[in-house]
Structure 1
Amino acid sequence: MSWSEVCAFVETLPGIEEGTSHGTPALRVRRTFLARLREDGDTLAVPVDLEERSFLIDAHPDALFVTEHYERWPLVLVSLPRADAALVRELIEDAWSERASKRVVDAWLAERGEADR
């Protein structure tokens, strides 16, 4: 998956804004960090629950990792060239649903015929 494919996917999620973070392209929802492309252009930083991060990395060791710098932050690093597009979409969608308003998330889920998360 590429950054342009990530941007195309997030167009399906309401309220996403493109911007920058630490001088690199980033995504926000409700002015809150959602994801950012790291300086190498191939790694995406995405928020996840710290307790879940180890499980995710163990389940997808070729695509997900964390560096010492990010160890204390609730983020996982995603190698976009190595990650399955469905995994990237799921990580972003989960982070978005935690940050977007409940009303927006509920409307989006209803539109898709899905139950509340």
Structure 2
Amino acid sequence: MADDPLESLRRLCLALPETTERLSHGEPTWFVGGRKTFVMYADHHHDDRLAFWCAASPGVQEALVAEAPERFFRPPYVGHRGWLGVRLDVPQDWTEIAEIVGDAYRAVAPKRLVTRLE
């Protein structure tokens, strides 16, 4: 699945209910209901990493960055709000990436959409 990280990430995001994609700050970004961002691609956006930034539940960013700083980081601009940075230029487990994307969606989606995932 990880041959093209952008296409792999796109497939994961667009598989979720009422998700749309458009450019934001020059990068592909995925929205719930056309308004709330839950994942933003970061192709060397303000640093030398290929990554994505995503919404995360309280404490997740700190735990994952402490556990695997070579894979996870606190992204600029949104990191202070608990968002998680996930590197795509290092080996990743795409099953785990799918879980992270799903959790990001759940963090911002309205309850009526989250129940559709169950």
TM-score scaled by length of structure 1: 0.79
Task: Decide which of 14, 28, 31 is 1:11's aligned counterpart.
Answer: 14
Mapped contact 2:75–2:83 kept (Cα < 8 A): no
- 2:73 matched to 1:73? no
- 2:51 matched to 1:43? yes
- 2:114 matched to 1:105? yes
How has the CA–CA distance of structure 1 residues 12 and 70 changed in structure 2, closer, same or farther, with 3 Å as cutoff? closer
Instruction: Report the Cα distance in structure 1 between the residues aligned to 2:78 and 2:116, rounded to whole angstroms.
Output: 33
Once the two structures are TM-superposed, the CA of residue 103 in structure 1 deviates from its matched residue by: 2.1
- 2:69 matched to 1:61? yes
Cα distance per residue 1:63-86 (max 9 Å; x no partner): 111256554232111111322212
Cα distance per residue 1:20-50 (max 9 Å; x no partner): 2211111110210111111427210111134
How has the CA–CA distance of structure 1 residues 107 and 69 changed in structure 2, closer, same or farther, with 3 Å as cutoff? closer
How has the CA–CA distance of structure 1 residues 93 and 67 changed in structure 2, closer, same or farther, with 3 Å as cutoff? closer
Task: Decide which of 95, 106, 112 is 2:104's aligned counterpart.
Answer: 95
How has the CA–CA distance of structure 1 residues 29 and 76 changed in structure 2, closer, same or farther, with 3 Å as cutoff? same
> What runs of 5+ residues in structure 1 fail to find an aligned partner?
110-117
How has the CA–CA distance of structure 1 residues 70 and 107 changed in structure 2, closer, same or farther, with 3 Å as cutoff? closer
Identity of aligned residues (%): 20
Amino acid at match of 1:103: R
Q: Greater CA radius of gyration, 1 or 2?
A: 1
Which range moves more in the overlay, 58-67 or 4-13? 58-67
Instruction: Report the Cα distance in structure 1 between the residues aligned to 2:21 and 2:61, rounded to whole angstroms.
Output: 25
Which range moves more in the overlay, 25-34 or 74-83? 74-83
Amino acid at match of 1:49: S
The count of residues paired between Structure 1 and Structure 2 equals 109
SS at match of 2:80: coil
Amino acid at match of 1:18: E
